[in-house]
């Protein structure tokens, strides 16, 4: 079951929230900053111990002060026009996160719109990839949530899932 929600991902009660991080895993702005603020300083310590993550891959930590039990950190591609492997890397972000989630018996998971903020990936193109990967995996989960921050993203996802 794929749902579209508009709001702050840190406020959701789910087993896992996905974080759109950078390869240092040491925090940043956007959703990454919000997740680190809400999870508290132990999240940074856990990320420091991991020591980074390549683009397209994912790493898991506890959620600490979040309601979510887990944070799955992914590093989306920076948009460089679309012919530098960005679609495959974005697809890997979603599929690797869902693989990690399955390994940790996650039943409910929420994704932000990875790469579409600071990293500049066109929203509709990114959403098509996100929805395709989620649809493929949805049967393995109770809830897969697309957590949109903007009304525009919400409407794109709702159209794609209609
Ligand atoms: N809940 C849900 N979505 C949010 C929230 C929130 N609290 N805050 C922002 N968004 P971005 P990226 C949306 O820039 O493009 C960071 O500095 C936002 O509106 O957070 O993957 C990292 O450290 C947008 O739709 O991530 C990296 O350096 C989406 O989250 C870099 O930004 C993603 O925007 C990653 O860039």
Phi-psi region of 153 (alpha: psi -120 to 50; beta: other; left: phi over 0): alpha
Could you tell me if the CB of 149 is within 6 A of ligand 1?
A: yes
**pLDDT tens per residue, the chain (162 residues)?**
899 999 999 999 999 999 999 999 999 999 999 999 999 999 999 999 999 999 999 999 999 999 999 999 999 999 999 999 999 999 999 999 999 999 999 999 999 999 999 999 999 999 999 999 999 999 999 999 999 999 999 999 999 999
Q: How much is the pLDDT for 1?
A: 87
pTM of the model: 0.98
Terminal-to-terminal C-alpha distance of the chain: 13
CA atoms within 13 A on the CB side of 2: 21
* Domains identified in the chain and CATH numbers: 2-161 (3.40.220.10)
Residues acting as catalytic residues = 32
Could you tell me if the CB of 77 is within 6 A of ligand 1?
A: no
Residue nearest to atom 23 of ligand 1 (CA): 28
Could you tell me if the CB of 31 is within 6 A of ligand 1?
A: yes
User: SS in 3 state form for the chain?
Assistant: CEEEEECCHHHCCCCEEEEEECCCCCCCCHHHHHHHHHHCHHHHHHHHHHCCCCCCCEEEEECCCCCCCEEEEEECCCCCCCCCCHHHHHHHHHHHHHHHHHHCCCCEEEECCCCCCCCCCCHHHHHHHHHHHHHHHHHHCCEEEEEECCHHHHHHHHHHHC
Residue 138 CA to ligand 1 center (angstroms) comes to 23
Could you tell me if the CB of 112 is within 6 A of ligand 1?
A: yes
Q: How much is the pLDDT for 143?
A: 98
Would you say 129 and 87 are in contact if contact means Cβ atoms under 8 Å apart?
Answer: yes
């Amino acid at each position: 079951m794929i749902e579209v929600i508009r709001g702050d991902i840190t406020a959701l009660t789910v087993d896992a929230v996905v974080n759109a991080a950078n390869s240092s895993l040491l925090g940043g702005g956007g959703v990454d900053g919000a997740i680190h603020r809400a999870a508290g300083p132990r999240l940074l310590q856990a990320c420091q111990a991991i020591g980074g993550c390549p683009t397209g891959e994912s790493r898991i930590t506890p959620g600490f002060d979040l309601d979510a039990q887990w944070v799955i950190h992914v590093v989306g591609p920076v948009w460089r026009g679309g012919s530098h492997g960005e679609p495959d890397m974005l697809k890997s972000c979603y599929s690797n996160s869902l693989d990690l989630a399955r390994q940790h018996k996650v039943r409910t998971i929420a994704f932000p719109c990875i790469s579409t903020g600071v990293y500049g990936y066109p929203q509709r193109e990114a959403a098509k990839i996100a929805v395709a990967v989620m649809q493929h995996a949805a049967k393995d989960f109770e809830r897969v949530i697309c957590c949109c921050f903007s009304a525009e993203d919400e409407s794109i996802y709702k159209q794609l899932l209609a």
